[in-house]
Amino acid sequence: MRFSIISAGVVAGMLVAGGAQARDQISIVGSSTVYPFATIVAEKFGQSSGFKTPVIESTGTGGGMKLFCKGIGVEHPDITNASRAMKSSEAKLCQEAGVEFQEFIVGNDGVAVSNSLAGQKFNISIAHIAAALAAELPDQGYGGEGAKANGLKTWADVDAYVAKATGSAASGLPAQPLQIMVPPPTSGTRDAMGELFMKAGWKKLGLDGDGYKKLREDGAAIEVGENDSLIIEKLVADKDMFGIFGYSFFDQNRDKVQSSVLDGVELNFENIASYKYPGARPLFVYVKKQHVGVIPGMKEFINEFVSEKAMGMDGYLFPAGLVPLSEDDFAKQMAAKNSL
């Protein structure tokens, strides 16, 4: 399909078509993980730039992509935040709607497997996560062979299964009921969990195929929304409960929760920056090119966000939990600003 190119003048006409007034405020949607960082940048921008503070909605990465790629015009957002890269299917939606975009990587994050400080700190493998959450597991020792419903009920069950499957020693996990809060399907953290923990953990178990994709529905995997604050409250209220969410939110709640050691690696700044931590991932911002120069302040907002003072080691996003990019990666993002 031919990619359509629409000039700024045509876009401006579309924005005021039907009597609607062009927006004078940037509209941003997307990831709940990137949301707090984008909000900080938006507030700084609104205070110092002379432009209005952008309006930001936490819709989840998948939800943000749908809104962003739907079209050009005042009714569509200008920017979407994402805790994973845009999928090919989403890029196709943008292409079909004539949406041109610029991708920016704004920092690094890590997916935490967290529980209350009152609970036991776990030292596990990503194979434990895959075995705990997959809807079906082969040969669990409950009679019969082949794929069948996951019958592992406790972390001790999971530990025994992983030890048998991988030939490694058991981690000594307790006979504690499996209760793991997982992100919703619209979340980029859910996609990252699927790729970094479920898929990679499935391979560690020596299993083939895509059985890792479907999560169990018997109460062990508890799907929750984009409200990370509510997840923290539930972890504090139940020391046997676990939750999966981004490092930045974990970092802001260290006085309440702890993160499991995965494959022998602690979740911390250094291990995310080096990508030693198995749940390390980049964070993204996507900008609608046709809205630049039409919606006031878009280029200036990106200049604020993709900058040393915001994203750098001494930047104002570092205390909020954003792990800065390497020098080379940061230089690439600075160069990408020239494409807007």
pLDDT of amino acid 258 = 98
pLDDT of amino acid 146 = 55
The string of DSSP codes covering 153-201 is -BHHHHHHHHHHHH-PPP----SPBP-EEE--TT-HHHHHIIIIIIIHH
pLDDT of amino acid 143 = 42
**Thinking of the domain 110-280, which architecture would CATH place it in?**
3-Layer(aba) Sandwich (3.40)
Rounded to 5°, the CA angle 222-119-199 comes to 45
Question: For 8-108+283-339, which CATH superfamily applies?
Answer: Periplasmic binding protein-like II (3.40.190.10)
Contacts of 292 (CB under 8 A, 6+ apart): 8, 298, 299, 340
pLDDT of amino acid 90 = 98
pLDDT of amino acid 147 = 63
**Does this chain's domain 8-108+283-339 share its CATH topology with 110-280?**
yes
Q: Decide: residue 57, CB within 10 A, 0-12 exposed, 13-18 middle, 19+ buried.
A: middle
Residue ranges covered by each domain of the chain: 8-108+283-339, 110-280
Q: Spell out the per-residue pLDDT of the chain, length 340, in tens.
A: 333 444 444 454 555 443 345 789 999 999 999 999 999 999 999 999 999 999 999 999 999 999 999 999 999 999 999 999 999 999 999 999 999 999 999 999 999 999 999 999 999 999 999 999 999 998 766 444 556 899 999 999 999 999 999 998 888 999 999 999 999 999 999 999 999 999 999 999 999 999 999 999 999 999 998 777 889 999 999 999 999 999 989 999 999 999 999 999 999 999 999 999 999 999 999 999 999 999 999 999 999 999 999 999 999 999 999 999 999 999 999 999 987 8
